Structure formats: structure tokens, C-alpha cells
Amino acid sequence: MAEWKPKARLMDSDGIRRVITRMAHEIIERNKGTDDMVLIGIRRRGVPLARRLADKIKEIEGSVVPVGVLDITLYRDDLTTLGRQPVVRQTEVAFSIEGKRIILVDDVLFTGRTIRAALDAIIDLGRPRYIQLVALVDRGHRELPIRADYVGKNVPTSRREEVAVRLTETDDTDEVVIMEKT
């Protein structure tokens, strides 16, 4: 078994907070406000990020943007090649997305396959006006023609590396670390 060893720490708690603040401003600016806007986080770590963005947007604009939770397991394109079926969790989008401006949130943008699955999942829920993508980290190596509208940090990586995003809501700490296989 290869072991993963931390190589470099890209962001700490303050770094993540600053990036969230910047992206919240960008989202408001690009969309000229928050009308018809909804945030949808991709399980797992896209969900706390979406909530943090919603909190920040409320702080800045005073408006409440609904947050939905998307589980993309049933839309994965690798189900037949996995040893075991991954655990399916609930998708919780308690509002209509018809005609909405959707801000889709994920922690790391890599091959683009998760986003492809998420787009399909959203489309199955209704017809939004448009979908924009937020990624805390873009590490490159795209396998599909997908790009993020808002990027916290661009991090050139090798395929042998792994980007670990840890958030207090899920991991008891806030940090982004590059891991290397030894």
C-alpha cells in the first residue's frame, strides 16, 4: 500500500476564509445581486463551502440565498468499475430550481467528472436559468471541457499528488494540503 504524505500546506483557516469572502463578492458582482440565486453544494465538502458562501453573501448583501445538497453517486460514470457500490446519500434540494441562477459548489476541481455528474443531476431536478461553478481549489488535469467560474486557488499538481481539503464541519480543522504518494 502506498502511503500518502503531506507535501505542502496551501491554505490555513485564514486563507480559506479570505478566499470565501473574495468569491462571495465575485458571485454577487457577476450576478448583479442575489435575485433568484440558489447555492447547491456537492456532497460532501461542497456542502459546508456552500453554507459558508451563503453566510458571507448574507453578511454582504443582507439577503438569504437557499442552500441545497446534491448527492451525485447515482450519476457517477464509474459505477461498473468500482469494487463496491458507493453509499448513496440523500439529495436535499427543498426548493424549485426552475429558472434559478444556480451556483454549484465543490471543493476540488480535478477531472471534471464529478461536475458532469452534478450537472446531469441538477438538470433532472428542473431547468435552471444558468449554472455557475465554484471550486475552492482547481488542480488541473481536466478530462472533460469544464471550467470553474470562481476559483479559490489554482494549484498546479502532478497526477501522483492528491489535494486534501479539510473543513471544520467535516474534519475538525480548516486547511488545504497537497499530499504525495511515497
Partner 1 sequence: MYKYKDLLEIRTLSAEEIGFLLDTAGPMKEIIKRQIKKVPTLRGKTVVTLFYENSTRTRGSFELAAKYMSADAINISGSSSSVAKGESLYDTGRTLQSLGADVIVLRHPMAGAPELLARSVQAAVINAGDGAHEHPTQALLDMFTVREKKGGLAGLRVAIVGDVLHSRVARSNIWGFTKMGAEVRVCGPATLLPAGVEETGALVFHQLDQALAGADVIMMLRIQKERQQQGLFPGLREYARLYGLNERRLALAAGDALVMHPGPMNRGVEITAAIADSNRAVIEEQVTNGVAVRMALLYLLSGGGAQA
Give the interface with partner 1 as residue ranges (CB under 8 A).
Answer: 71, 74-76, 79-85, 87-92, 120-121, 124-126
Nearer to partner 1, 15 or 126 (CB): 126
Do 46 and 105 meet the contact criterion of CB atoms below 8 Å apart? yes
**Closest distance to partner 1 from the beta carbon of 38 (Å):** 16
Q: Is 178 helix (H, G, I), strand (E, B) or coil?
A: strand
**Closest distance to partner 1 from the beta carbon of 146 (Å):** 18
Nearer to partner 1, 64 or 74 (CB): 74
The residue count for the chain: 182
**Closest distance to partner 1 from the beta carbon of 155 (Å):** 31
Q: What is the dihedral of CA 104, 108, 114, 120, to 10 degrees?
A: 10
Nearer to partner 1, 90 or 182 (CB): 90
In sequence order, the 6+-apart residues with CB closer than 8 A to the CB of 22 are 152
Nearer to partner 1, 68 or 152 (CB): 68
**Closest distance to partner 1 from the beta carbon of 53 (Å):** 24
Q: d(Cα 125, Cα 111) in Å, to the nearest integer?
A: 24
Nearer to partner 1, 59 or 98 (CB): 98
In sequence order, the 6+-apart residues with CB closer than 8 A to the CB of 66 are 38, 39, 54, 94, 95
Which string of DSSP letters, residue by residue, matches 68-87?
Answer: EEE--GGG-S-GGGSSSPPP
**Closest distance to partner 1 from the beta carbon of 79 (Å):** 6
